[in-house]
A = this chain, B = another copy of it.
Amino acid sequence: VSFDFLARLQQGPVLGDGGCIFELERRGYVQAGPFTPEVVLEHPEAVLQLHREFAHNGAEVIQALTFYGSRDKLGRDPAEVNRAAVRLAREAAPSLGVAGGLSPTPTFRHGDRSEVLQLMRQHLEAQLEEGVDLLIGETFLWLEEACLALQAMHIADLPRVVTMNIGPQGSRDGFSPDECARRLEAEGAHVIGVNCSYDPQTSLTTTLLMKTGCYLACQPIGYLHECGGPFESWAEFPLELESRQLSRRALGNFARQAELHGVRFIGGCCGVAPYHVRSMAEALGRKPASSAKSADLRLHMIPEVRERSAAEKLSAAAP
């Protein structure tokens, strides 16, 4: 492979991208509610541009937009969607890692396990035809479903990342973060952690409760609610999350802390936009292409803004 994900992880933190589904909803191409990825066929240029933005701002791994791309969630044959998703990710980022993957299936709540496994394999097949560098199974509320995903992911010989959609209380089927981690490690994951639904600090806490020999991953949402809980439970979900939106500084702080605590696959989920990724990249000491456009308020048109900027520099320099 051109992009050796495991070798990169060994060297230090790898930066992922942000949340494509939510960002494309805001751009008018994804429906809130189902949150499915038909946009890869309907408006490929929008997906391509967003992938490019994440790459431009420092993401090293681009996730193909295959989320909720299983037949039972899509309501159609997923092959075309999943192939297009991988091609767009590759086109946007030829020299970066391209991740394919799996996500929750509606069937899990009422079907039998072999049916779920079959849906997951089918979900992966088209992706594998186009060629990906790693697989990410993500956003699982049930440990059991995550294990099925891991099982399905064994059809390829690729690095396997699995992230649960859980807080410190653990999974819906009653497993603590640490129990989840040990089970996922035993089932053959290379990278283990959490993604979605919880703010950066809560997500980091949950991740650090996982004692594992695997690499750790942490990909929180870009929102914070004072009352905590997963964001699906907030009154603002999903269309009035603005007042809960985290700033670039908050995400930068998160990335620095995650690195400090040894997390190796750092990134964002819903609500994490290109500028947050750049802030995470810079917090990790990097200079993505977009850093060429770093803010310089001394060049602002309004004199008061230039002067405020100077006074803040003075203040920051105070011992």
Contact = CB atoms under 8 A, between A and B. Distances in A.
Given A243-B245, A245-B245, A33 B235 contact: no
A304 B34 contact: no
Interface stretch (A156-164, A187-195, A291-299): A291-299
Nearest to A228: B253
Contact of A243 (B35, B226, B238, B304): B226
A202 B204 CA distance: 12
A31 B246 contact: no
Interface stretch (A8-16, A51-59, A114-122, A130-138): A51-59
Number of copies: 4
A315 B318 contact: no
A246 B242 CA distance: 6
Contacts of A293: 25, 28-32
Given A27-B274, A29-B290, A307-B315, 19 more contacts: A25-B275, A26-B273, A26-B274, A28-B278, A28-B288, A28-B289, A31-B296, A32-B295, A32-B297, A46-B49, A46-B53, A141-B302, A201-B202, A227-B250, A227-B253, A238-B295, A238-B297, A303-B319, A311-B315
Interface of A: 25-35, 45-46, 49, 52-53, 56-57, 68, 73, 104, 106, 141, 201-202, 205, 224, 226-228, 232-233, 235, 237-243, 245-250, 253, 273-275, 278, 288-290, 293-305, 307-308, 311-312, 314-315, 318-319
